Structure 1
Amino acid sequence: MNMASIGIFIFTVIYITVVNAGLVDVKCKTENMGQYGQQSLLDCAIETSQEATGAVFRTVSWKKEGIDEPLLLFHKGETIKQPGYSFAEPSWNNRNMNVSLHITNTTVEDQGVYTCTVMTDSGSDTSKTTLKVTAKYSKPTIISEPEKISQSTGGTLVCNSVGGYPKGQIRWFGELNEDWTGSSDMEVKETKSGLFELSSKLTLLRGSTYSKYTCAVFNTSGGKEDEATFEVPDGQDTSGHSGGEPGKPTVQVTTIVAASLVIGSLIVGLLGVILYKMRSRRDHREVRAFESDAEEGKPEIQHCYSLCPNNKTCFTTVSKMTCMRIYSDSDIKPFAGGGREVDKEYQDTLA
Protein backbone atom coordinates (compact mmCIF):
# COMPACT_ATOMS: atom_id res chain seq x y z
CA MET A 1 0.00 0.00 0.00
CA ASN A 2 1.48 3.38 -1.06
CA MET A 3 1.13 6.71 0.72
CA ALA A 4 -1.72 7.86 -1.56
CA SER A 5 -3.75 4.78 -0.71
CA ILE A 6 -3.10 5.26 3.00
CA GLY A 7 -4.29 8.86 2.76
CA ILE A 8 -7.52 7.84 1.04
CA PHE A 9 -8.01 5.13 3.66
CA ILE A 10 -7.63 7.55 6.57
CA PHE A 11 -10.10 10.01 5.01
CA THR A 12 -12.61 7.22 4.45
CA VAL A 13 -12.27 6.00 8.04
CA ILE A 14 -12.89 9.50 9.42
CA TYR A 15 -15.94 9.96 7.22
CA ILE A 16 -17.49 6.61 8.06
CA THR A 17 -16.72 7.05 11.76
CA VAL A 18 -18.73 10.27 11.86
CA VAL A 19 -21.65 8.86 9.88
CA ASN A 20 -21.94 5.54 11.73
CA ALA A 21 -20.94 6.60 15.24
CA GLY A 22 -22.53 4.45 17.93
CA LEU A 23 -22.95 1.25 15.92
CA VAL A 24 -19.35 0.08 16.53
CA ASP A 25 -17.43 0.89 19.69
CA VAL A 26 -13.67 0.26 20.11
CA LYS A 27 -12.83 -0.27 23.80
CA CYS A 28 -9.15 0.05 24.66
CA LYS A 29 -7.45 -0.11 28.02
CA THR A 30 -6.42 3.40 28.94
CA GLU A 31 -2.88 2.53 30.01
CA ASN A 32 -0.73 -0.52 29.41
CA MET A 33 2.58 -1.41 31.05
CA GLY A 34 5.43 -2.96 29.11
CA GLN A 35 8.70 -4.40 30.40
CA TYR A 36 11.87 -3.65 28.47
CA GLY A 37 13.00 -6.66 26.46
CA GLN A 38 9.70 -8.49 27.05
CA GLN A 39 6.44 -8.86 25.13
CA SER A 40 3.80 -6.17 25.54
CA LEU A 41 0.09 -6.14 24.87
CA LEU A 42 -2.09 -3.14 24.02
CA ASP A 43 -5.52 -4.40 24.97
CA CYS A 44 -8.41 -3.42 22.65
CA ALA A 45 -11.73 -5.07 21.80
CA ILE A 46 -14.74 -4.20 19.65
CA GLU A 47 -18.27 -3.87 20.92
CA THR A 48 -21.21 -3.46 18.53
CA SER A 49 -24.80 -2.40 18.95
CA GLN A 50 -27.62 -4.81 18.26
CA GLU A 51 -28.05 -3.32 14.81
CA ALA A 52 -24.40 -4.07 13.97
CA THR A 53 -24.33 -7.63 15.30
CA GLY A 54 -22.28 -9.87 13.03
CA ALA A 55 -20.46 -6.95 11.47
CA VAL A 56 -17.55 -7.80 9.20
CA PHE A 57 -14.30 -5.87 9.56
CA ARG A 58 -13.07 -4.15 6.49
CA THR A 59 -10.17 -2.30 8.04
CA VAL A 60 -8.23 -2.37 11.32
CA SER A 61 -5.35 0.04 11.80
CA TRP A 62 -2.80 0.55 14.60
CA LYS A 63 -0.74 3.74 14.60
CA LYS A 64 1.66 5.37 17.05
CA GLU A 65 1.94 9.10 17.56
CA GLY A 66 4.95 10.48 15.75
CA ILE A 67 5.02 7.71 13.15
CA ASP A 68 3.18 8.26 9.86
CA GLU A 69 2.77 4.71 8.61
CA PRO A 70 0.59 2.19 10.48
CA LEU A 71 2.40 -0.38 12.60
CA LEU A 72 -0.31 -2.92 11.81
CA LEU A 73 -2.94 -2.69 9.06
CA PHE A 74 -5.66 -5.08 7.95
CA HIS A 75 -7.35 -3.94 4.74
CA LYS A 76 -9.26 -5.81 2.04
CA GLY A 77 -8.37 -9.18 3.52
CA GLU A 78 -4.63 -8.45 3.65
CA THR A 79 -2.54 -7.84 6.78
CA ILE A 80 0.46 -5.52 6.58
CA LYS A 81 2.66 -5.23 9.66
CA GLN A 82 5.93 -3.71 10.70
CA PRO A 83 8.57 -6.07 12.21
CA GLY A 84 7.81 -6.83 15.86
CA TYR A 85 4.06 -6.01 15.67
CA SER A 86 1.06 -8.30 15.17
CA PHE A 87 -2.47 -9.04 16.34
CA ALA A 88 -2.52 -10.57 19.80
CA GLU A 89 -4.34 -13.64 18.46
CA PRO A 90 -2.28 -15.38 15.77
CA SER A 91 -5.43 -16.80 14.16
CA TRP A 92 -7.14 -13.43 14.01
CA ASN A 93 -9.75 -12.98 11.24
CA ASN A 94 -12.15 -10.28 10.14
CA ARG A 95 -14.86 -11.43 12.55
CA ASN A 96 -12.65 -11.55 15.65
CA MET A 97 -13.59 -8.86 18.16
CA ASN A 98 -10.17 -8.89 19.84
CA VAL A 99 -8.03 -6.40 17.97
CA SER A 100 -5.28 -6.06 20.63
CA LEU A 101 -1.79 -5.17 19.44
CA HIS A 102 1.11 -7.47 20.34
CA ILE A 103 4.69 -6.12 20.57
CA THR A 104 7.33 -8.84 20.39
CA ASN A 105 10.34 -7.13 21.97
CA THR A 106 9.54 -3.98 23.90
CA THR A 107 12.02 -1.10 23.73
CA VAL A 108 12.08 2.39 25.19
CA GLU A 109 10.98 3.74 21.79
CA ASP A 110 7.73 1.78 22.07
CA GLN A 111 6.54 4.00 24.89
CA GLY A 112 3.86 6.45 23.77
CA VAL A 113 0.26 6.92 22.62
CA TYR A 114 -1.34 4.50 20.15
CA THR A 115 -4.51 4.81 18.10
CA CYS A 116 -6.67 1.87 17.04
CA THR A 117 -9.16 2.50 14.22
CA VAL A 118 -11.75 -0.07 13.16
CA MET A 119 -14.05 0.09 10.13
CA THR A 120 -16.80 -2.49 9.57
CA ASP A 121 -19.68 -2.87 7.19
CA SER A 122 -21.89 -1.52 9.99
CA GLY A 123 -19.84 1.38 11.27
CA SER A 124 -16.44 2.52 12.51
CA ASP A 125 -14.73 3.82 15.63
CA THR A 126 -11.34 4.99 16.94
CA SER A 127 -9.78 4.68 20.40
CA LYS A 128 -6.48 5.71 22.00
CA THR A 129 -4.33 3.84 24.49
CA THR A 130 -0.98 4.46 26.14
CA LEU A 131 2.02 2.19 26.64
CA LYS A 132 4.46 2.89 29.45
CA VAL A 133 7.78 1.06 29.37
CA THR A 134 9.83 0.19 32.42
CA ALA A 135 13.17 -1.54 32.89
CA LYS A 136 14.37 -2.97 36.17
CA TYR A 137 17.69 -1.66 37.42
CA SER A 138 20.48 -4.11 38.11
CA LYS A 139 21.42 -5.04 41.67
CA PRO A 140 23.65 -2.24 42.97
CA THR A 141 27.37 -2.83 43.38
CA ILE A 142 29.51 -0.91 45.87
CA ILE A 143 33.25 -0.31 45.70
CA SER A 144 35.48 1.80 47.92
CA GLU A 145 38.06 4.41 47.00
CA PRO A 146 40.76 3.62 47.95
CA GLU A 147 40.29 -0.13 47.79
CA LYS A 148 41.07 -0.60 51.50
CA ILE A 149 39.37 1.71 53.97
CA SER A 150 38.48 1.54 57.65
CA GLN A 151 36.30 3.42 60.08
CA SER A 152 39.31 5.41 61.25
CA THR A 153 40.70 6.31 57.82
CA GLY A 154 37.49 7.15 55.96
CA GLY A 155 37.25 7.18 52.15
CA THR A 156 34.59 7.15 49.43
CA LEU A 157 31.91 4.57 48.60
CA VAL A 158 30.74 4.34 44.98
CA CYS A 159 27.42 2.64 44.18
CA ASN A 160 26.46 1.71 40.59
CA SER A 161 23.23 0.40 39.09
CA VAL A 162 22.53 0.16 35.36
CA GLY A 163 19.95 -0.85 32.77
CA GLY A 164 16.90 0.85 34.25
CA TYR A 165 14.08 2.99 32.88
CA PRO A 166 12.75 5.58 33.54
CA LYS A 167 15.39 7.54 35.42
CA GLY A 168 15.65 6.28 38.99
CA GLN A 169 17.51 7.31 42.13
CA ILE A 170 20.21 5.87 44.39
CA ARG A 171 19.78 6.45 48.09
CA TRP A 172 22.18 5.77 50.98
CA PHE A 173 21.33 4.51 54.47
CA GLY A 174 23.48 4.02 57.58
CA GLU A 175 23.55 1.07 59.95
CA LEU A 176 20.63 2.55 61.93
CA ASN A 177 18.67 3.15 58.69
CA GLU A 178 19.38 6.88 58.80
CA ASP A 179 19.22 8.53 55.37
CA TRP A 180 22.61 9.76 54.08
CA THR A 181 21.43 10.54 50.53
CA GLY A 182 21.82 14.28 51.11
CA SER A 183 25.57 13.80 51.61
CA SER A 184 25.98 11.89 48.34
CA ASP A 185 26.53 12.95 44.73
CA MET A 186 24.64 11.07 41.98
CA GLU A 187 25.43 11.00 38.26
CA VAL A 188 22.98 9.80 35.57
CA LYS A 189 23.91 8.64 32.06
CA GLU A 190 21.55 7.68 29.24
CA THR A 191 22.68 4.86 26.96
CA LYS A 192 22.00 4.47 23.24
CA SER A 193 19.15 2.10 24.03
CA GLY A 194 17.48 4.77 26.14
CA LEU A 195 18.20 3.02 29.44
CA PHE A 196 19.87 4.79 32.35
CA GLU A 197 23.05 4.18 34.33
CA LEU A 198 23.15 5.50 37.89
CA SER A 199 26.29 6.16 39.91
CA SER A 200 26.41 7.70 43.38
CA LYS A 201 29.37 8.64 45.60
CA LEU A 202 29.22 8.91 49.37
CA THR A 203 32.22 10.43 51.16
CA LEU A 204 33.06 8.94 54.56
CA LEU A 205 34.77 11.36 56.92
CA ARG A 206 37.79 10.16 58.85
CA GLY A 207 36.95 9.13 62.39
CA SER A 208 33.18 9.49 61.91
CA THR A 209 32.50 6.41 59.80
CA TYR A 210 29.90 3.77 60.66
CA SER A 211 30.42 0.04 60.28
CA LYS A 212 27.78 -0.53 57.58
CA TYR A 213 26.22 1.41 54.69
CA THR A 214 23.38 0.39 52.38
CA CYS A 215 22.93 1.58 48.80
CA ALA A 216 19.38 1.18 47.44
CA VAL A 217 18.06 1.91 43.94
CA PHE A 218 14.54 3.30 43.57
CA ASN A 219 12.45 3.52 40.40
CA THR A 220 10.68 6.62 39.20
CA SER A 221 7.57 5.68 41.20
CA GLY A 222 9.56 5.66 44.43
CA GLY A 223 9.57 1.90 44.80
CA LYS A 224 12.75 0.19 45.95
CA GLU A 225 14.00 -2.29 43.38
CA ASP A 226 17.13 -3.65 45.03
CA GLU A 227 19.93 -2.84 47.46
CA ALA A 228 23.48 -3.71 48.45
CA THR A 229 25.38 -3.38 51.74
CA PHE A 230 29.01 -2.45 52.34
CA GLU A 231 30.67 -3.21 55.68
CA VAL A 232 33.50 -0.89 56.68
CA PRO A 233 36.27 -2.67 58.66
CA ASP A 234 36.87 -1.32 62.15
CA GLY A 235 40.65 -1.44 61.65
CA GLN A 236 41.18 -4.70 63.61
CA ASP A 237 42.21 -7.86 61.78
CA THR A 238 41.83 -11.46 62.98
CA SER A 239 45.16 -11.31 64.84
CA GLY A 240 44.15 -8.24 66.82
CA HIS A 241 46.40 -5.95 64.84
CA SER A 242 45.15 -2.61 63.62
CA GLY A 243 44.32 -2.42 59.94
CA GLY A 244 46.02 -4.32 57.15
CA GLU A 245 45.07 -7.66 55.70
CA PRO A 246 43.56 -10.27 58.02
CA GLY A 247 46.27 -12.29 59.77
CA LYS A 248 49.09 -9.98 58.69
CA PRO A 249 50.81 -7.42 60.98
CA THR A 250 50.67 -3.83 59.91
CA VAL A 251 53.61 -1.56 59.25
CA GLN A 252 53.24 -0.07 62.73
CA VAL A 253 53.40 -3.47 64.43
CA THR A 254 56.35 -4.53 62.26
CA THR A 255 58.19 -1.36 63.23
CA ILE A 256 57.61 -2.02 66.94
CA VAL A 257 58.89 -5.59 66.62
CA ALA A 258 61.99 -4.44 64.73
CA ALA A 259 62.70 -1.77 67.34
CA SER A 260 62.36 -4.35 70.12
CA LEU A 261 64.87 -6.61 68.38
CA VAL A 262 67.35 -3.75 68.04
CA ILE A 263 66.98 -2.77 71.70
CA GLY A 264 67.37 -6.41 72.75
CA SER A 265 70.53 -6.74 70.69
CA LEU A 266 71.96 -3.61 72.29
CA ILE A 267 71.22 -4.93 75.77
CA VAL A 268 72.92 -8.27 74.99
CA GLY A 269 75.93 -6.46 73.57
CA LEU A 270 76.16 -4.21 76.62
CA LEU A 271 76.07 -7.21 78.97
CA GLY A 272 78.85 -8.82 76.94
CA VAL A 273 81.01 -5.73 77.29
CA ILE A 274 80.39 -5.62 81.05
CA LEU A 275 81.36 -9.29 81.47
CA TYR A 276 84.48 -8.79 79.36
CA LYS A 277 85.61 -5.85 81.47
CA MET A 278 84.98 -7.74 84.70
CA ARG A 279 87.06 -10.68 83.45
CA SER A 280 89.87 -8.39 82.29
CA ARG A 281 90.03 -6.71 85.69
CA ARG A 282 90.27 -10.11 87.43
CA ASP A 283 93.07 -11.22 85.10
CA HIS A 284 95.00 -8.07 85.82
CA ARG A 285 94.70 -8.79 89.54
CA GLU A 286 96.14 -12.30 88.98
CA VAL A 287 99.08 -10.89 87.04
CA ARG A 288 99.80 -8.36 89.75
CA ALA A 289 99.83 -11.17 92.36
CA PHE A 290 102.30 -13.17 90.29
CA GLU A 291 104.54 -10.16 89.84
CA SER A 292 104.62 -9.76 93.63
CA ASP A 293 105.92 -13.34 94.02
CA ALA A 294 108.58 -12.69 91.43
CA GLU A 295 109.75 -9.62 93.27
CA GLU A 296 110.25 -11.73 96.44
CA GLY A 297 113.07 -13.56 94.64
CA LYS A 298 111.63 -16.96 93.87
CA PRO A 299 113.91 -18.10 91.00
CA GLU A 300 111.56 -20.61 89.42
CA ILE A 301 108.77 -18.07 89.48
CA GLN A 302 111.03 -15.44 87.99
CA HIS A 303 112.13 -17.82 85.26
CA CYS A 304 108.59 -18.87 84.54
CA TYR A 305 107.37 -15.29 84.55
CA SER A 306 109.99 -14.34 82.02
CA LEU A 307 108.65 -16.94 79.61
CA CYS A 308 104.91 -16.39 80.04
CA PRO A 309 102.79 -13.63 78.52
CA ASN A 310 101.84 -10.83 80.84
CA ASN A 311 98.26 -11.92 81.20
CA LYS A 312 99.08 -15.46 82.35
CA THR A 313 100.12 -16.95 85.68
CA CYS A 314 103.07 -19.37 85.82
CA PHE A 315 104.17 -22.20 88.12
CA THR A 316 106.76 -25.03 87.96
CA THR A 317 106.67 -28.77 88.56
CA VAL A 318 109.44 -31.38 88.79
CA SER A 319 109.20 -32.31 85.13
CA LYS A 320 107.90 -29.24 83.38
CA MET A 321 107.16 -25.60 83.55
CA THR A 322 103.58 -24.53 82.84
CA CYS A 323 102.11 -21.19 81.96
CA MET A 324 98.39 -20.87 82.45
CA ARG A 325 95.52 -18.42 82.71
CA ILE A 326 93.65 -18.75 85.95
CA TYR A 327 89.95 -17.97 85.39
CA SER A 328 88.69 -18.95 88.81
CA ASP A 329 89.74 -20.89 91.86
CA SER A 330 87.79 -23.89 90.61
CA ASP A 331 90.18 -24.15 87.68
CA ILE A 332 93.07 -25.06 90.03
CA LYS A 333 93.62 -28.02 92.32
CA PRO A 334 96.55 -28.94 94.66
CA PHE A 335 99.49 -30.84 93.14
CA ALA A 336 101.00 -33.75 95.12
CA GLY A 337 104.56 -32.56 94.57
CA GLY A 338 103.87 -29.34 96.38
CA GLY A 339 102.82 -27.31 93.36
CA ARG A 340 99.42 -26.77 91.61
CA GLU A 341 97.96 -28.59 88.64
CA VAL A 342 95.66 -26.92 86.08
CA ASP A 343 92.82 -28.46 84.06
CA LYS A 344 94.31 -29.40 80.71
CA GLU A 345 92.02 -27.18 78.62
CA TYR A 346 93.56 -24.12 80.27
CA GLN A 347 97.22 -25.21 80.02
CA ASP A 348 99.71 -23.65 77.76
CA THR A 349 102.83 -25.81 78.31
CA LEU A 350 106.21 -24.43 77.44
CA ALA A 351 109.09 -26.69 76.44
Structure 2
Amino acid sequence: MSVGFGTSTESLFKLKCQPAVGVIGQTTHISCSIELYTKPKPVVINTVTLTRSGEKKSCFAIQPFENIQIGDSRFDVENGPSLQLHNTTFSDEGEYWYIIRTNLGQDDVQFTINVTAKYSNPIITSVQKEIVNDGAADLYCSASGGYPAGTIHWFDQSNTNWTKSATLQSTQGNDGLFSLSSKLSFQKIDLLWAHFRCVVINNKYEEEGGTTSTLEIEGNYCLVYL
Protein backbone atom coordinates (compact mmCIF):
# COMPACT_ATOMS: atom_id res chain seq x y z
CA MET A 1 0.00 0.00 0.00
CA SER A 2 1.51 3.34 -1.02
CA VAL A 3 0.17 6.71 0.05
CA GLY A 4 1.86 10.01 -0.83
CA PHE A 5 2.19 12.85 1.66
CA GLY A 6 1.14 16.46 1.29
CA THR A 7 -2.20 18.06 2.13
CA SER A 8 -4.71 17.87 -0.67
CA THR A 9 -6.07 21.22 -1.88
CA GLU A 10 -9.45 19.54 -2.32
CA SER A 11 -9.68 18.40 1.27
CA LEU A 12 -12.86 19.53 3.05
CA PHE A 13 -11.49 18.92 6.55
CA LYS A 14 -8.51 19.42 8.83
CA LEU A 15 -6.90 16.50 10.68
CA LYS A 16 -5.65 17.26 14.20
CA CYS A 17 -3.77 15.04 16.67
CA GLN A 18 -2.64 15.68 20.24
CA PRO A 19 0.84 14.73 21.50
CA ALA A 20 0.67 11.35 23.23
CA VAL A 21 2.40 10.11 26.36
CA GLY A 22 2.60 6.34 26.72
CA VAL A 23 3.67 4.03 29.53
CA ILE A 24 5.95 1.11 28.70
CA GLY A 25 3.97 -2.13 28.50
CA GLN A 26 0.61 -0.37 28.38
CA THR A 27 -1.71 0.95 25.65
CA THR A 28 -1.04 4.47 24.38
CA HIS A 29 -4.03 6.47 23.16
CA ILE A 30 -3.34 8.98 20.37
CA SER A 31 -6.26 11.40 20.28
CA CYS A 32 -7.08 12.74 16.81
CA SER A 33 -10.06 14.61 15.40
CA ILE A 34 -11.49 15.82 12.10
CA GLU A 35 -12.52 19.48 11.76
CA LEU A 36 -14.87 20.00 8.81
CA TYR A 37 -14.60 23.15 6.72
CA THR A 38 -18.15 22.79 5.42
CA LYS A 39 -21.53 21.82 6.82
CA PRO A 40 -21.43 18.54 8.74
CA LYS A 41 -21.21 15.56 6.44
CA PRO A 42 -20.60 11.88 7.10
CA VAL A 43 -16.86 11.18 6.94
CA VAL A 44 -15.82 7.78 5.61
CA ILE A 45 -12.16 6.88 6.19
CA ASN A 46 -10.82 4.83 3.30
CA THR A 47 -7.11 4.66 4.13
CA VAL A 48 -4.96 5.32 7.20
CA THR A 49 -1.18 5.52 6.97
CA LEU A 50 1.38 6.16 9.71
CA THR A 51 5.06 6.85 9.04
CA ARG A 52 7.88 7.74 11.42
CA SER A 53 9.52 11.07 10.66
CA GLY A 54 12.65 10.62 8.54
CA GLU A 55 11.54 7.24 7.20
CA LYS A 56 10.02 6.48 3.80
CA LYS A 57 8.35 3.17 4.61
CA SER A 58 5.08 3.26 6.55
CA CYS A 59 5.12 1.60 9.97
CA PHE A 60 1.35 1.06 9.86
CA ALA A 61 -1.40 1.29 7.22
CA ILE A 62 -4.95 0.06 6.96
CA GLN A 63 -7.81 0.05 4.46
CA PRO A 64 -10.79 -0.93 6.61
CA PHE A 65 -13.24 -1.61 3.78
CA GLU A 66 -10.73 -3.79 1.93
CA ASN A 67 -9.74 -5.60 5.12
CA ILE A 68 -6.10 -4.80 4.39
CA GLN A 69 -3.61 -4.02 7.18
CA ILE A 70 0.17 -3.86 6.99
CA GLY A 71 3.00 -2.92 9.34
CA ASP A 72 3.11 -2.93 13.12
CA SER A 73 0.10 -4.89 14.39
CA ARG A 74 0.29 -3.10 17.76
CA PHE A 75 -1.29 -0.04 16.12
CA ASP A 76 -5.03 0.13 15.67
CA VAL A 77 -7.63 2.72 14.66
CA GLU A 78 -9.83 3.85 17.55
CA ASN A 79 -12.99 5.98 17.29
CA GLY A 80 -12.54 7.31 13.79
CA PRO A 81 -9.18 8.99 13.26
CA SER A 82 -7.80 8.33 16.76
CA LEU A 83 -5.18 5.59 17.21
CA GLN A 84 -4.09 3.06 19.79
CA LEU A 85 -0.62 1.62 20.31
CA HIS A 86 -0.64 -1.59 22.34
CA ASN A 87 2.28 -2.86 24.44
CA THR A 88 4.21 0.40 24.15
CA THR A 89 8.03 0.20 24.22
CA PHE A 90 10.65 2.90 24.68
CA SER A 91 11.62 2.52 20.99
CA ASP A 92 8.16 3.86 19.99
CA GLU A 93 9.18 7.32 21.17
CA GLY A 94 9.47 9.90 18.39
CA GLU A 95 7.63 11.94 15.76
CA TYR A 96 5.13 10.49 13.30
CA TRP A 97 3.34 11.62 10.17
CA TYR A 98 -0.30 10.53 10.05
CA ILE A 99 -2.35 10.69 6.86
CA ILE A 100 -5.96 9.71 6.19
CA ARG A 101 -7.90 9.48 2.95
CA THR A 102 -11.66 9.94 3.14
CA ASN A 103 -14.66 10.61 0.94
CA LEU A 104 -14.01 14.32 1.62
CA GLY A 105 -10.37 14.31 0.55
CA GLN A 106 -7.15 13.68 2.47
CA ASP A 107 -5.02 15.45 5.06
CA ASP A 108 -1.91 14.75 7.12
CA VAL A 109 -0.60 15.85 10.49
CA GLN A 110 2.52 15.36 12.58
CA PHE A 111 2.38 14.27 16.23
CA THR A 112 4.81 12.99 18.87
CA ILE A 113 4.82 10.00 21.19
CA ASN A 114 6.76 10.29 24.45
CA VAL A 115 7.28 7.15 26.51
CA THR A 116 7.68 6.82 30.27
CA ALA A 117 8.10 4.10 32.88
CA LYS A 118 7.84 4.69 36.62
CA TYR A 119 10.81 3.87 38.80
CA SER A 120 10.51 1.40 41.65
CA ASN A 121 10.23 2.88 45.11
CA PRO A 122 13.78 3.82 46.17
CA ILE A 123 15.67 1.86 48.83
CA ILE A 124 18.23 3.32 51.25
CA THR A 125 21.15 1.15 52.36
CA SER A 126 24.44 1.65 54.19
CA VAL A 127 27.56 -0.49 54.35
CA GLN A 128 28.10 0.73 57.90
CA LYS A 129 25.85 -0.84 60.50
CA GLU A 130 26.80 1.72 63.12
CA ILE A 131 27.35 5.39 62.36
CA VAL A 132 29.16 7.50 64.94
CA ASN A 133 28.12 11.07 65.50
CA ASP A 134 30.70 13.43 63.95
CA GLY A 135 32.21 10.47 62.10
CA ALA A 136 32.34 9.44 58.44
CA ALA A 137 29.20 7.94 56.87
CA ASP A 138 28.03 6.72 53.47
CA LEU A 139 24.36 6.36 52.54
CA TYR A 140 23.15 4.75 49.33
CA CYS A 141 19.82 5.10 47.52
CA SER A 142 18.77 3.03 44.51
CA ALA A 143 15.76 2.73 42.21
CA SER A 144 15.22 0.84 38.94
CA GLY A 145 12.87 0.18 36.04
CA GLY A 146 12.32 3.79 34.95
CA TYR A 147 12.35 5.70 31.67
CA PRO A 148 13.59 8.25 30.64
CA ALA A 149 16.69 8.77 32.81
CA GLY A 150 15.91 10.49 36.12
CA THR A 151 17.84 11.54 39.18
CA ILE A 152 17.87 11.12 42.96
CA HIS A 153 17.73 13.92 45.52
CA TRP A 154 18.64 13.76 49.20
CA PHE A 155 17.00 15.74 52.04
CA ASP A 156 17.55 15.88 55.81
CA GLN A 157 14.81 16.25 58.43
CA SER A 158 14.78 20.05 57.99
CA ASN A 159 14.27 19.55 54.22
CA THR A 160 17.76 20.81 53.36
CA ASN A 161 18.80 19.47 49.96
CA TRP A 162 22.09 17.51 50.14
CA THR A 163 22.11 16.37 46.50
CA LYS A 164 25.22 18.40 45.62
CA SER A 165 27.16 16.24 48.11
CA ALA A 166 26.03 13.01 46.41
CA THR A 167 27.25 11.15 43.33
CA LEU A 168 24.75 9.60 40.91
CA GLN A 169 25.16 6.64 38.57
CA SER A 170 22.56 6.07 35.85
CA THR A 171 22.66 2.79 33.91
CA GLN A 172 20.48 1.79 30.97
CA GLY A 173 19.77 -1.92 30.67
CA ASN A 174 19.22 -4.03 27.58
CA ASP A 175 15.49 -3.50 27.98
CA GLY A 176 15.97 0.27 27.68
CA LEU A 177 15.02 0.96 31.30
CA PHE A 178 17.24 2.91 33.67
CA SER A 179 18.63 2.05 37.11
CA LEU A 180 19.69 4.88 39.44
CA SER A 181 22.15 4.67 42.31
CA SER A 182 23.17 7.63 44.47
CA LYS A 183 25.86 7.76 47.17
CA LEU A 184 25.71 10.46 49.84
CA SER A 185 29.01 10.72 51.75
CA PHE A 186 29.86 12.62 54.91
CA GLN A 187 33.28 13.16 56.45
CA LYS A 188 31.54 14.25 59.66
CA ILE A 189 27.86 13.46 60.01
CA ASP A 190 25.66 15.31 62.48
CA LEU A 191 22.85 13.31 64.06
CA LEU A 192 20.74 16.45 64.07
CA TRP A 193 20.39 15.98 60.30
CA ALA A 194 18.61 12.64 60.67
CA HIS A 195 16.30 11.35 59.32
CA PHE A 196 17.50 11.36 55.69
CA ARG A 197 15.10 11.01 52.79
CA CYS A 198 15.90 10.12 49.19
CA VAL A 199 13.51 11.01 46.39
CA VAL A 200 13.38 9.86 42.75
CA ILE A 201 12.87 12.78 40.34
CA ASN A 202 11.78 11.99 36.77
CA ASN A 203 12.81 13.86 33.62
CA LYS A 204 9.96 16.34 34.12
CA TYR A 205 11.37 17.17 37.54
CA GLU A 206 8.39 15.52 39.21
CA GLU A 207 8.71 13.39 42.34
CA GLU A 208 7.93 9.73 41.62
CA GLY A 209 8.66 8.16 44.98
CA GLY A 210 10.70 8.51 48.12
CA THR A 211 11.84 6.71 51.22
CA THR A 212 13.25 7.74 54.61
CA SER A 213 16.05 6.16 56.65
CA THR A 214 15.47 5.64 60.36
CA LEU A 215 18.32 6.80 62.60
CA GLU A 216 18.20 5.91 66.29
CA ILE A 217 20.80 6.95 68.89
CA GLU A 218 22.29 4.56 71.42
CA GLY A 219 24.79 6.36 73.61
CA ASN A 220 27.26 8.06 71.27
CA TYR A 221 26.17 5.90 68.36
CA CYS A 222 23.43 5.99 65.78
CA LEU A 223 22.12 2.72 64.37
CA VAL A 224 20.88 2.74 60.80
CA TYR A 225 17.81 0.56 60.30
CA LEU A 226 16.93 -0.01 56.65
Report the TM range for the smaller structure's normalisation. 0.7 to 0.9
Separation (CA, whole Å) in 2 of partners of 1:207 and 1:63: 56
- Contact 2:27/2:84 (<8 A) preserved: yes
Separation (CA, whole Å) in 2 of partners of 1:51 and 1:177: 59
Q: Could you say if the C-alpha distance between residues 51 and 145 of structure 1 is closer, same or farther in structure 2, counting changes exceeding 3 Å?
A: same
Shift of 1:47: 3.3
Residue in structure 1 matching 2:16, options 7, 19, 27: 27
Deviation by residue 1:5-62 (Cα, 9 ceiling, x = unmatched): x3xx32xx54xx43414x1321212x11112221101111223343783353332112
Match of 2:200 in 1: 217
Separation (CA, whole Å) in 2 of partners of 1:55 and 1:220: 40
Higher share in helix: 1
> TM-score, normalization: structure 1?
0.57
Q: Could you say if the C-alpha distance between residues 244 and 130 of structure 1 is closer, same or farther in structure 2, counting changes exceeding 3 Å?
A: closer
Percent sequence identity is 30
| Runs (5+) with no aligned partner, structure 2 | none
> TM-score, normalization: structure 2?
0.85
Match of 1:264 in 2: none
- Contact 1:159/1:200 (<8 A) preserved: yes
Which is higher, the Rg of structure 1 or of structure 2? 1
- Contact 2:152/2:200 (<8 A) preserved: yes
Q: How many residue pairs get matched?
A: 220
Deviation by residue 1:268-290 (Cα, 9 ceiling, x = unmatched): xxxxxxxxxxxxxxxxxxxxxxx
Shift of 1:231: 2.3
Match of 1:323 in 2: none
Match of 2:118 in 1: 136
- Contact 1:146/1:155 (<8 A) preserved: yes
Separation (CA, whole Å) in 1 of partners of 2:75 and 2:122: 34
Match of 1:163 in 2: 145
Write out the 4+ residue segments of structure 1 that deviate beyond 4 Å after TM superposition.
Answer: 242-245
Shift of 1:102: 0.6
Match of 1:74 in 2: 62
Shift of 1:81: 4.1
Alignment of 1:168-179 (within 5 A): 168-179=150-161
Alignment of 1:257-276 (within 5 A): none
1:200 aligns with 2:182: yes
In structure 2, what residue type is equivalent to 1:24? Answer: F
1:154 aligns with 2:143: no
- Whose RCO is larger (CA < 8 A, sep 6+)? 2
- Contact 2:197/2:211 (<8 A) preserved: yes
Match of 2:75 in 1: 85
Higher share in strand: 2
Separation (CA, whole Å) in 2 of partners of 1:179 and 1:225: 17
| Runs (5+) with no aligned partner, structure 1 | 90-97, 237-241, 246-351
User: What SS does the aligned partner of 2:91 have?
Assistant: helix
Shift of 1:173: 0.7
Q: Could you say if the C-alpha distance between residues 207 and 44 of structure 1 is closer, same or farther in structure 2, counting changes exceeding 3 Å?
A: closer
